[in-house]
Structure formats: structure tokens, C-alpha cells
Structure 1
Amino acid sequence: MSGQARKWAWESSTSRGTARLVLLSIADRIPDAQCVAYASLAELMERTNASRNAVRSALAWLCDAHELEALKGYEGPMGAAVYRMPRPAAWLAKVAAAKKADPGLRTEDVEPLTDADRAPALRDLDDELLRKRRIRHTGASESDPPVQDLTGSESDPPRQNLTPSRVRNRPSTGADSDPQNCSEPKVNGSYSSSSAAGLTSATDWQVDDASLSWAQQQGHLDRLGEQGLKAADAKWRHYRSTGSPRTAAAWAADWKSWIAREHTPTPQRPNLYALPGGSPAPQAGMTRSEAHMAALLAAVDEPTGTE
């Protein structure tokens, strides 16, 4: 079904520049007639070769133009944002209804889409099918206010100032994917100067689809659970935050090695703090000797920095 979404983006979308690239990147990931797909901010930056602010501005423009919907109450792997393309969804729903009424009707004979044709309501989305696509419903109501947070994964670096919506998302000069200024970060937090090209810090590096698929295929996602994987990711970033910048591939390899060594959570182990400096307060009902044992286990679990 991504073919129908791409066809609409190429032939009917009014977007330009970075906004068009962002829309096409999302359309390329749409698997079925619901026209729903997830994408993190880091993935869109990498696919479009655009800066963080440029991608955020493009997403805001697309939502304002009703060419894209950011679905509140749904999230993808690692908290990735979930989007729907409403016009292709409306067209596919219209075709399905017309063929149900007249099984012999050809797609090209269906009446063209009009402004009165709307995409199916969110309550009609097939949650079981979405779960197979690694998208889960978090339980927010459809009547909630439209989502405004376009930042993507919760592990992304702190949000920078979003370009006001009244500013055109296409710069007056240069390529559409160029940064807004010379100091603005590009893909994975690296800067546009040639001396730092391809290098990023552990804090700015984002978990890509390949690394996430590796964690799932190797059984680490099932072993640790989603929350456990997030905790391990936060712990890794803490210990690697002072390291020298590396390439994204180098950080990915290091991250995989860390996740593979991470202890499997068990009910028998005390609820230890994950990072140095965290509160070692004992759990309610723990004796003094149990609190000492918890502290010793935490010290054993903490990496020495020589990994």
C-alpha cells in the first residue's frame, strides 16, 4: 500500500523541499490501507539529510496543511512518533466501499476524491494489525487535543527552538536540506563543518532500525523487556557520555555489545539504582544487611569503564 501513499505524495501533495522529502519518507514506510507508519526524528533526519530544526518545521507544516496526522495515543519502537496520511487513507477507504457495493467495479472507475471524503476515524484502526507493525495503542482518547510533540523518541537530545509555523520551511538560498545556520547540527548530532563530519557523541547518537532489529532478533528485547531496554540504553549513554566522538557505526557496535552483556531483570534481585549517583535508598521492609547486600550487588553490576 505504500505505492498508493507515494503516488499521492508525488502527484497531489503541495509540499516542497524538506517537507516533501519527509512526507515521501513516511509514505515509503506505509504497509497497508490504514496509511499509518512510525518514524523517529533521527530516522527522518538521516533519510532526508536535513537538520533537526528543518525536519521539525517540515512536520509542523505538513500537519498544518492536513497532509499528515501525528497520532496521539500511538507509539512505535523506542517511543517513535506515529503518523497517518489522511488523504490516501480516505481514497483507499472510498475505493473499498465502492467495490463492496459493486464487486465488479474497477478502481479507475471510482469517483475522484473530494473534500467531503474523510479518512476513517481513529477508533476504526485495526490495533491488532498495528501491533504486528510494532505500533501499540497507549490508550489516549481520540477526543484529546491534537498532538503537538513532534520530537520523536524520548531518547532524543533536548529539543531546540522550533521554527515558527509562519516561516516557510524552504530556505531562500541553498539546498532544501541545508542547515539553517553554520552551527546547526545535522544527522546524529554531527555538525556541518568538514572536520567533524560523520562523528557524534554517545549522547546524541540514536538507536537505528538495524540495531533495534538486532536486539529483537537476538532475543534481548524479549529478555530485558521494553522498559529494561530503555534503562540499559540510558545506562550506556551515562557511561559513554564522556567518551570521544565516534562514527554512528562505531557507537552502534558498542551499544550492541553493552546490551548483550546487560543482566536479565529477575524478581529475586533488589530494585537497584541503575546509574551512579542514583538514590541507594533501601526498599520498604529491607533490613540493614539486605540494604548492604543491595549496594554490593549494584557495585558488582556497574561497569568499570574498561569494556
Structure 2
Amino acid sequence: MSGQARKWVWESSSSRGTARLVLLSIADRIPDDQCVAYASVTELMTRTNASRNAVRTSLALLADAGELEVIHEYEGPQHSTVYRMPRPAAWLAKVAAAQKADPALSVEDVKPLTDADPAPALRDLDEERLRKHRIWRTTGSKSGPPRQNPAGSASGPPRQNPTPPRVRNGPPSGAESDPQNCSSEPKVNRRYSSSGAAGLTSATDWQVDDASLSWAQQQGHLERLGEQGLQAADAKWRHYRATWSPRSAAAWATDWRSWIDREHTPSPQRPNLYALPGGSPAPQAGMTRSEAHMAALLAAIDEPTGTE
């Protein structure tokens, strides 16, 4: 009957993603027309290659959608949870009733399932058939025979539940959707991780690449600033970036281009434009003391603050 349950999932279920895989995994284990099967979260994690949280979330979504029921009165091996798929159970019950009334009727001739077709009541489950599939009533249940050890005789002592084997808290390594694996994977995006530090360099050690030089020429910055002015702007950029944390060559290239793009064109009114902090270049010939002082103030205003 697992084939009919899987067919219903493919054709009628509204589930998506991991929830659909979980529902298909349970449908694959259904043995008869009662549409009851047991499965543990660990087994579903292995079959769907999903994380524990993803499987639990999917089970809750399927229950809310009415496509899966948890039967608390029963349990499978090692206290596995027992589930029922009510809609396939309703369809198979409808087919059985129609064929009972007309034995010559085929499955294709049965009218499609509607919301008015209920699933059989849980109290009508055939416990004898469930026991054949290793599904028993939970301990302390008021009805049903005691759970027996399948490996022993019918008159043997009640089945003792062995201690469940220890399992990992997550699915096999490599599952993309498993958040449990995050703690064991290298943090490749951390700035100072061993794998990421290999491609980082300081502003002082970074060399202007050919692409940045071509950019400066194409954008007209080389002609605007002149070769000496471009070199002075580069020196000032390295001075203000010397204390910055290491970055990749591409990041420095982007920052360097932005700096050159904002650099002012040199003019006689700004003789100290490219002076570094602490420097005191001599004023140009012919400038009065007042003009030299004004030029120094203009240069100080144009100097970056280090926050750009």
C-alpha cells in the first residue's frame, strides 16, 4: 500500500521542500491500507538528508495541514513515533467500500476523494495487523495485549525496551541544510581565519595594479593630477590607510580608486594639497607670509579625516 500513499503525496499533497520529502519517507514505510507507519526523527534525517530542526519543523507543518497524524497510543521499535496519513487512508477506505458494493469496479472507476470523505476512526485500527508490523500500544495503555518480545515465545516475559543507541545530534556530514554541522566547519569568512588570511594584505604592501592605472588614465585622473600628483595622492592614501586592518587586493583597489576619484586638482592656490600630516614644505617663491598661511589652511581643510 505504500505505492498508493506515495501516489497521493505526488499528486495531491500541498507539502513542499523538506516537508514533502518527510511525507514521502513515511509513505514509503506504510505496509497496508490503514496507512500507519512508524519512524524516528533520526531515520527521517537520514532518509531526507535534512537537519533535526528541519525534520521537526516539517512534521509540525504536515500535522497542521492535516496530512499527517501522530498516534500517541502506539509506538514502534525503540519508542519510535507512529504516524498515520489520513487522506490516503480515506481514499483506500473509499475504494474498499466501492469494490465491496461492486466487486467488478476498478480503482480508476472510483470517484475522486473529497473533503466529505472522512478517514476511518483511529479506534477502528486493527491492532493485530499493527503488531505484525512491530507497532504496539504504549506502556500503560488500558486496552490491548501486553507488548511481547518478537524474538521470544508467546508466553515469554513482556518485551524489554533496549536502551536506544546513541546517535549524533545532526545528520551525516555534508548535508547543506543541517545547521548542526556549522560548529564543525571552518569559518572561512572570518577576517583572521587561517584559510582567509592568505589572501589579505595591508595598504602599505598593496601595489597599484595595471587595471587601476588603466582606470586612472581612462577616467582622466592621470591627465588631471599629473604623474607627480598621482604619486603624491597615492602616498597620502597609504598614509591614511596604514592603520587599517588587512584586506584583499580587490578591496584595496576599489578604495584606492575612490580616493583618486575624490582627489582635488592641484592649483597655485593650494600648494600644500598633497602634503602629508606633519610635513612643512616650503612655500612657493613669491608668496607672502599671509598667502602661505592661507594655503596651509586650505590644505588642512582638504585633508581626509580617515573616516571616508
TM-score when normalising by structure 1: 0.49
Which fold has the larger relative contact order, with Cα–Cα distance below 8 Å and residues 6 or more apart in sequence?
1
Look at both structures and tell me which one has the larger radius of gyration over its CA atoms: 2
TM-score when normalising by structure 2: 0.48
